[in-house]
Amino acid sequence: MKIKDLLIDYNFIKKGYKEPYIIAEAGVNHEGSMDLAKRLIDEAKEGGAHAIKFQTYKANTIASRDSPSYWDTTKESTTSQFELFQKYDNFWKSEYEQLKDYCDEVEIEFLSTPFDAESAHFLNEMMDVFKVSSSDITNLPFLELICSFGKPIILSTGASYLWEVQQALETINKYNLPVCLMHCILNYPTLNENANLGMIADLIEKFPNTIPGYSDHTLPEDMETIKIASLLGAVVIEKHFTHDKTLPGNDHYHAMDKEDLKLFFQKINRVTELIGAKDKTSLPSEEKSRLNARRSLVALEKIEKGQIVSEDVLTWKRPAKGISPKNINDLIGKKATVVIHEDTVLQWKMFD
């Protein structure tokens, strides 16, 4: 399923538990290499991601020259946002067109987050859905521009108060667009004690007409974080993605790789199997148990022909091949039409 279809068909979520839609957030981990960008696409596809997402920006439109860092500088030593973004901003329209075509070729959905008006306009030609960064949740003029394209919105909510989320949604709702609201913590990396996955439930409660999601910045470890996020209701999950987690700097150090993706899908498929159907019913596999593990009314002692049945001559034992104990009051007071020996499973035909 394409993410546009998922976001438009809100009832899809209500039909029961489904495998979450996984976005491999490659960002600028291609580091300006088209070959590496294509490798990231290939490995995201191999790992099982439904989409791969890049980031489209120019340093001089996203940050002033006096923009201090907000990441862990022991992992990425650059202390200026402008300087860091300038290292990775050489991809532009033609490069993203190539990546879009390559994604189509290998059958993985292409996405990229725009960070300025120009990139939003040319990415509109390549995508059915727009992702809005947490950093732009209060950038209402930019949000208005993106909404003007009339496409579903995926909105990250990192570092925001509830009223700021509400304000952004009021802007989007003017355009009557489907919204996936993604819980996010804007720390790179996010420590486990700061993940606060419980906030997913709060967003679901406060904004029931949005589709729940999660944008993850924790270390991949054993992929438990996004598994739990999925169990808490996140339908769309985004996590940074790299071909080599040991690389220094940028977003490699808190990213997952293709093997992490494979591990996640193994786990979530197991969870999906365990969760199964949500409508309570007896399964065909339980039919033998229904018959043999439930009880019937049984003669506690010999019942003579013509005897009126009283409660003190009855007990209940397995299997459930006779009169159910739930019908005991219907049986009391009836007359036995045959001699019934002790420990006989009682049948209606034995009584008038």
Q: Using only the alpha carbons of the chain, give its radius of gyration.
A: 30
How far lies 143's CA from each of 112, 171, 244, 249, 344, in Å? Answer: 15, 7, 33, 30, 76
Residue range 220-231: mean pLDDT, rounded: 94
Residue 344, judged by CB atoms within 10 A of its CB (0-12, 13-18, 19+), counts as: middle
* Model confidence pLDDT, tens digit, residues 79-89: 878 887 887 89
Under the banding of pLDDT at 50, 70 and 90, the label for residue 17 is: very low
Listed residue (171, 180, 226) closest to 10, CA to CA: 180
Please compute the mean of the pLDDT values over residues 66-71 and round it to a whole number. Answer: 80
Computed over every residue of the chain, the mean pLDDT equals 93
Decide which of 3.30.70.360, 1.20.120.1810, 3.40.1390.20, 3.90.1210.10 is the CATH code for 287-350.
Answer: 3.90.1210.10
pLDDT of residue 72 exceeding 90: no
- d(C-alpha 67, C-alpha 224), whole Å: 34
Q: Note whether 128 and 152 are within 8 A (CB).
A: yes
Angle, CA of 318, 323 and 324, to the nearest 5°: 65
Instruction: Give the count of beta carbons closer than 10 Å to the beta carbon of residue 175.
Output: 15
DSSP per residue over 74-120, as a string?
A: TTS---BHHHHHHHT----HHHHHHHHHHHHHHT-EEEEEE-SHHHH
Closest CA to 342 of 280, 300, 307: 300
pLDDT at 315 over 80: yes
* DSSP assigned state of 308: B
Domain ranges of the chain: 3-275, 287-350
pLDDT in tens, 108-145: 999 999 999 999 999 999 999 999 999 999 999 999 99
Burial class (CB in 10 A: 0-12, 13-18, 19+), 50: buried
Ranges assigned E (strand) in the chain: 21-27, 51-56, 109-114, 130-132, 153-156, 179-184, 211-216, 236-240, 296-299, 314-317
Helix, strand, or coil here: 264? Answer: helix
The whole-number average pLDDT for the span 47-65 is 92
pLDDT at residue 261, rounded to an integer:
97
Give Cα separations from 213 to 3, 46, 235 (angstroms): 12, 23, 5
**Greater model confidence, 73 or 265:** 265
The CATH homologous superfamily of the domain defined by 3-275:
Aldolase class I (3.20.20.70)
pLDDT tens for each residue of 135-158: 999 999 999 999 999 999 999 999
Residue 347: pLDDT above 60? yes
pLDDT tier for residue 15 given thresholds of 50, 70 and 90? low
pLDDT one-digit tens code per residue, 233-277:
999 999 999 999 998 876 888 899 999 999 999 999 999 889 887
What share of the chain in percent tops pLDDT 70? 97
